[in-house]
Structure 1
Amino acid sequence: MLKQFIERPVLSTVISIILLLLGALSVFQLPITLFPDIAPPSVQVTASYPGANAEVVARSVANPIEEAVNGVENMTYMTSNSSNDGSMTLSIFFKQGSDPDNAAVNVQNRVSKAMSQLPQEVVQAGISTQKVQNSMIMFMGLSSTDPKQYDELFLQNYLKINVIPQIQRIPGVAQAQVFGARDYSMRVWLKPDRLADNNLSPQEVLAAIKNSNLEAAPGRLGQGSKETYEYILKYKGKLNQNTDYENIVIKSNNDGSFLRLKDVARVEFGSYSYTASNRVDGKPVAGFAILQTAGSNSNEIITEIEKQVEQMKTTLPKGVEPIIMYNSKDFLDASIHQVVETLVIAFILVFIVVYIFLQDFRSTLIPAIAVPVAIIGTFFFLNLFGFSINMLTLFALVLAIGIVVDDAIVVVEAVHSKMEHTGLPVDQATRESMSEISGAIISITLVMSAVFVPVGFMQGPAGVFYRQFAFTLAIAILISAVNALTLSPALCALLLNDPQGEHGHEKKGFGARFFNAFNVAFNNMTKKYIYSLKFLIKNKWVGVGGLALITLITIFLINKAPTGFIPTEDQGFVLFAVNTPPGSSLERTHKATAQIDKIINGEESTKHLWVADGLNFISNANASPYAAGFIKLKDIDKRGAMSDPDQIAAILTGKVSQVKDASTFFFN
């Protein structure tokens, strides 16, 4: 079988070229992410009970939905959060590998069964069920340079009406999640004393508003009659002006006059909710996070979003400007650029080392060709298995460069040795060499694969995280073995020189002198190595003692080394969460975060600071005693003496401790 590849080098070449082409095409189809997605599939159910406190929401909304959803197929656990603003969030987590779309459908079916047990106000407000996307690729917003003209209420609604729909139309965007949304609404502030004077309850006022605020189809006049004209009746429909609401009749008095809404309440056009407030660098802002769908290319999505932002700038009101707080493309591009640079450097170093030892350009070319065939060909299988281009797969390819040349070097060395010791012509020497070493190449490949493949079958988050690393490396090794059994022997038969043809031609020049000096030095080192081996063989206790000492030192260093799931990296931001005393109002929380603002903005490393009063970072719910913040750092060369995000977080932790009315936690 192997003789056919030696005798038909075109066949071997075509196989490698096909593999290269498939790999090259797959590079442009593979999604690009920072790390593999390890978060288990999850579905989120959200509901709202206007006016209810957290206890009422938990009892009347959360409990019925939890009982209905509990036990849904492939579910592992669920958590719920009920807030005093009337909102309820239920997160259901599923086994790794579950289809998130099917999970969302199954949860929706369970929620539908619980609808009859929920308060009518909750059903009317609507219950949302959606799969959760965990990969945030961008965090941006609209800020106002003129807060008096464009406040947060305007920004939030301009964002919802004009910006979010455009962003969500971009392929690959799963969700645009707005923080602290403030929807336009008509606020009715009741006057308790006026209600008491007129013997009214809030429910009666609410009923009057509902009865006067209807959509209706009044029909037509003149149909089926002898009238000349037909009239279509128009109904004003739902009210949209303050005066319309103010003139709603609540009841008629005994004297024939009417009691109107403006007599017992103050009506204003404002926000549906005042449970959160956002600002960036002290100015109002409407912020939102952009999440990508699974398997999409984040770089392509961000490029399209940036185009939309540039177009948006021409239509934004004067005094409103977009601000980008976080862009994963910048960090991802820099990280991938560094890894690709390392990949190229590794290839060059491998080529130089192989050339120094083989001391023949043609011989070096054979294992050098094995590298791109194995590396680029691996991308085809990454695409086939649904993997992505991420830091782990690229690191695996960097490591693979030094491994995939081994098999090709074994082939070249075996052919050289056969020609030197037997004097056979290159084609015959290649055939005999391959018959001797093919079994060794296969066994080496199986052993190397057996080291990495089991990592891909580990359970839990670590197994999911490192699966792509292990399989990428194993695939590259397997391709290199196929290459060593097909292309490398064919190239040996074509490229290697017959030693009989080179006989009597002594090489001269700088290269020859360098290689002669290298061979002398290497031979001397080999002699010293052999002498050391003889010494260790005679004095076995020295070798055993040295091994024991190295083992003890290794164990000591392992225990001293810090541990973690993955190394922390500088992505150019620091997060923080603020807790104020339980029951604190939004105004009290704002006063505390205003002091924190001054401290953070005083740091040399701070570029932008976004703060959301009333946002709980942990539950992602609105609650007035909490606040969250996002610090965008300057470029690393402009941060001053302290450039590491962990160091910056530690310094800020110490400085904000002087704010007595808040507990602040910084993390990277």
Structure 2
Amino acid sequence: MNISAPFIKRPIGTSLLAAALLMAGALAFNFLPVAPLPQVEFPVIQVSAGLPGASPETMASAVATPLERQFGRIAGINQMTSTSQLGSTSIVLQFDLNRNIDAAGRDVQAAINAARSQLPANLPGNPSYRKVNPADAPILILALTSDILTLPKMYDTADSILAQKLAQVNGVGQVFVGGGARPAVRAELNPTLLNKLGVGLDTVRTALGSANANRPKGELADPVNAWGIGANDQIFRADQYRKLIVAYKNGAPVRLGDVGDVQDSVEDIHVIGLSSGKPAVLIIIFRQPGANIIQTVDRVREALPLLKSSISPAIDLNVVLDRTVTVRASVADIEFTLLISVVLVILVVFAFLRTFRATLIPSVAVPLSLIGTFGIMYLLGYSLDNLSLMALAISTGFVVDDAIVVLENITRYLEQGMRPVQAAFRGAREIGFTVLSMSTSLVAVFIPILMMGGIVGRLFREFAVTLSAAIAVSLLVSLTTTPTMCAKFLRPLGEEKHGRIYRASERAFDHMLGMYRGSLRWVLRHQPLTLLITILTAALSVYLYIDVPKG
């Protein structure tokens, strides 16, 4: 059976097939996302809860413990860690790698609902959760600095204006604002005065909550008309809070300013951000899963002039961290390495074949196989990262083997005097299943990597699949395009004209062939010694494998 015969008989159709493979790969290359590492979604969920004023011990016992008790009933949790601090608790749940993150999120939400009755009644809100990918680092960090405006005003600008507009940029997943806190009014009460007046902290807290609640005011109506009451009873500044009456003692009002120091401040005074030694508000940007990191950063940078025009001129907006600098450099370096490897392969082929017609065939087969692999990567949802590009660079030596084997066998019949078409039919028929077995054995080598578990297995799975896909595309090209090109471009041995360089190199190759024949005769005459050396080499390899340090 000759697999290549239909393609040799139809050179135009084969050329169209090769062109379609080339165009599909080139088109897919433009849509492949760029990332430093393969996009691996680790099933990790972080649960957060807050109770203002509660000590770490209270948060651990009253908030973290009931949640942990419910989370412990969820199937597939590998690790659960909790951290409690003043007023907040964070619980990180790590699931099995084969656990669906969306299903795990639903289980976590159900556990939070089940634990709600066991949590403190004065908890401001239900605990919240978000999916976390430990392998996903920020792609861009922006810093807001100013010599005029205060840190709370810059934070309010970043949180209410910039964060919302940045979240709308295509490719941006999450935007966090750090290095500061929202503006707030802080009341530091004097316990001595409160005790002397007989006013408790709960009384002050209730008065503050009642005075600052934006409740419905109702309406005034008569039989004909109705008027809604639109008064606003919320207060926002410290001087308004100082006049607030928190209690009455002996018929006299006790105001908040009488029992404490009231100042305009921020929600959390223990947070600060610095940029070049100056107080700054930081905007931390994460990308969406599968988004092109380079294109996303470019879109954010293009939006910076518009963002600067939407905030106060007194605020300086600068980029302090750009993760794509190293990504661009590493991807460009490995792309250059891939190009160099293809050129070197072509030069080595030319050095041994010594004819432009014969060299042209693997020179077409190698790039065609690599470019066609991009199409498979796109269908599988892979990205252009260091591991996938490294797989393509390594596969350069593999994909050229198939083309050379087919070319050499066809050339052998040309040297025997056959016409190119006849040589292509006969050479491809004899070598077709050999090429198939070679490619199958190469793919089988990477099966252990495909079956590898854990985080390392997840990362290297894309490497193994990309390499196997390149070998599979090379097999297709070698059985279709390569024999067709041999039938069209090669010439019988008598029709080829060679120069002095070819004749000189032919003498060198004949000398090398003579040396090989002499060494082969010596080995065949001393077969027991050769077998003994082989066994000793294998034993030495086993010893070195055992002795080599492992980690």
Q: 1:546 to 1:527 in 2, by over 3 A?
A: farther
**Rounded Cα–Cα distance in structure 2 between residues aligned with 1:328 and 1:245:** 45
| 1:176 maps onto 2:175 in alignment | yes
1:547 to 533, 537, 550: 537
Q: Counterpart in 1 of 2:160? A: 161
**Rounded Cα–Cα distance in structure 2 between residues aligned with 1:451 and 1:104:** 37
**Rounded Cα–Cα distance in structure 1 between residues aligned with 2:480 and 2:284:** 51
**What's the CA shift string for 1:24-80, capped at 9, x where partnerless?**
221122221101144622111111110011110011111111222223344332211
1:419 to 414, 418, 427: 414
Q: What is the letter of the counterpart of residue 157 of structure 2? A: Y
Q: Counterpart in 2 of 1:185? A: 184
**Rounded Cα–Cα distance in structure 2 between residues aligned with 1:371 and 1:109:** 54
SS at match of 1:387: coil
SS at match of 1:519: helix
SS at match of 2:133: coil
Residues 353-502 of structure 1 aligned to structure 2 (within 5 Å): 353-421=348-416, 423-500=417-494, 502=495
CA contact (8 A) 2:41 2:133 kept: no
Q: What is the letter of the counterpart of residue 389 of structure 2? A: L
Moved more, 154-163 or 386-395: 154-163
**What's the CA shift string for 1:290-327, capped at 9, x where partnerless?**
22222111111111111222322334434432332321
Q: Counterpart in 2 of 1:150? A: 149
Q: What is the letter of the counterpart of residue 395 of structure 2? A: A
Residues 645-664 of structure 1 aligned to structure 2 (within 5 Å): none
Q: Counterpart in 1 of 2:504? A: 517
> Offset at 1:473?
0.8
Residues 49-88 of structure 1 aligned to structure 2 (within 5 Å): 49-83=51-85, 85-88=86-89
Q: What is the letter of the counterpart of residue 11 of structure 2? A: P
Q: Counterpart in 1 of 2:128? A: 128
**Rounded Cα–Cα distance in structure 2 between residues aligned with 1:335 and 1:166:** 30
Q: What is the letter of the counterpart of residue 4 of structure 1? A: P
Q: What is the letter of the counterpart of residue 133 of structure 1? A: N
Q: 1:386 to 1:515 in 2, by over 3 A?
A: same
Q: What is the letter of the counterpart of residue 68 of structure 1? A: Q
SS at match of 1:114: helix
Which segments of 5 or more consecutive residues in structure 1 lack a partner in the other structure? 564-668
**Rounded Cα–Cα distance in structure 1 between residues aligned with 2:108 and 2:520:** 68
Q: What is the letter of the counterpart of residue 176 of structure 1? A: V
Q: What is the letter of the counterpart of residue 394 of structure 1? A: L
**Rounded Cα–Cα distance in structure 2 between residues aligned with 1:42 and 1:171:** 25
Which segments of 5 or more consecutive residues in structure 2 lack a partner in the other structure? none
| 1:33 maps onto 2:25 in alignment | no
Q: Counterpart in 1 of 2:193? A: 194
**What's the CA shift string for 1:361-395, capped at 9, x where partnerless?**
11111111111221111111112122111111101
Q: What is the letter of the counterpart of residue 517 of structure 1? A: A
CA contact (8 A) 1:136 1:290 kept: no
**What's the CA shift string for 1:546-598, capped at 9, x where partnerless?**
83797489659953xx96xxxxxxxxxxxxxxxxxxxxxxxxxxxxxxxxxxx
**Rounded Cα–Cα distance in structure 2 between residues aligned with 1:545 and 1:434:** 37
| 1:246 maps onto 2:233 in alignment | no
The answer to which structure has the higher helix fraction is 2
Q: Counterpart in 2 of 1:272? A: 267
How many aligned positions are there? 545
Q: Counterpart in 1 of 2:220? A: 221
Higher RCO, Cα 8 Å, sep 6+: 2
**Rounded Cα–Cα distance in structure 1 between residues aligned with 2:27 and 2:233:** 58
Q: 1:549 to 1:515 in 2, by over 3 A?
A: farther
Q: What is the letter of the counterpart of residue 350 of structure 2? A: Y
CA contact (8 A) 1:81 1:89 kept: yes
Q: Counterpart in 2 of 1:327? A: 322
Q: 1:373 to 1:71 in 2, by over 3 A?
A: farther
> CA-atom RMSD, angstroms?
2.4
> Offset at 1:517?
2.3
CA contact (8 A) 2:21 2:368 kept: yes
Moved more, 541-550 or 28-37: 541-550
**Rounded Cα–Cα distance in structure 2 between residues aligned with 1:392 and 1:144:** 39
| 1:235 maps onto 2:234 in alignment | no
**What's the CA shift string for 1:102-141, capped at 9, x where partnerless?**
322331222122222222332x244321111341242423
Q: What is the letter of the counterpart of residue 251 of structure 1? A: A
CA contact (8 A) 1:55 1:82 kept: yes
CA contact (8 A) 2:39 2:383 kept: no
> Offset at 1:332?
1.0
**Rounded Cα–Cα distance in structure 2 between residues aligned with 1:163 and 1:453:** 48
Q: What is the letter of the counterpart of residue 239 of structure 1? A: I
**Rounded Cα–Cα distance in structure 2 between residues aligned with 1:476 and 1:202:** 71
**Rounded Cα–Cα distance in structure 2 between residues aligned with 1:268 and 1:65:** 36
Moved more, 287-296 or 263-272: 287-296
Identity of aligned residues (%): 28
SS at match of 2:280: strand
**Rounded Cα–Cα distance in structure 2 between residues aligned with 1:316 and 1:536:** 82
CA contact (8 A) 1:142 1:320 kept: no
Q: Counterpart in 1 of 2:141? A: 140
Q: What is the letter of the counterpart of residue 159 of structure 2? A: K
Residues 73-112 of structure 1 aligned to structure 2 (within 5 Å): 73-83=75-85, 85-112=86-113
Q: What is the letter of the counterpart of residue 41 of structure 1? A: P
Q: 1:344 to 1:513 in 2, by over 3 A?
A: same
**Rounded Cα–Cα distance in structure 2 between residues aligned with 1:109 and 1:171:** 32
**Rounded Cα–Cα distance in structure 2 between residues aligned with 1:241 and 1:483:** 75
Moved more, 271-280 or 465-474: 271-280
Moved more, 35-44 or 190-199: 35-44
CA contact (8 A) 1:44 1:89 kept: yes
**What's the CA shift string for 1:522-563, capped at 9, x where partnerless?**
33233334434444553538845983797489659953xx96
**Rounded Cα–Cα distance in structure 2 between residues aligned with 1:131 and 1:175:** 11
> Offset at 1:459?
1.0
Normalised to the residue count of structure 2, the TM-score between the two structures is 0.93
Moved more, 90-99 or 536-545: 536-545
CA contact (8 A) 2:443 2:468 kept: yes
**Rounded Cα–Cα distance in structure 2 between residues aligned with 1:528 and 1:288:** 69
CA contact (8 A) 2:42 2:133 kept: no
Q: Counterpart in 2 of 1:531? A: 518
> Offset at 1:195?
0.4
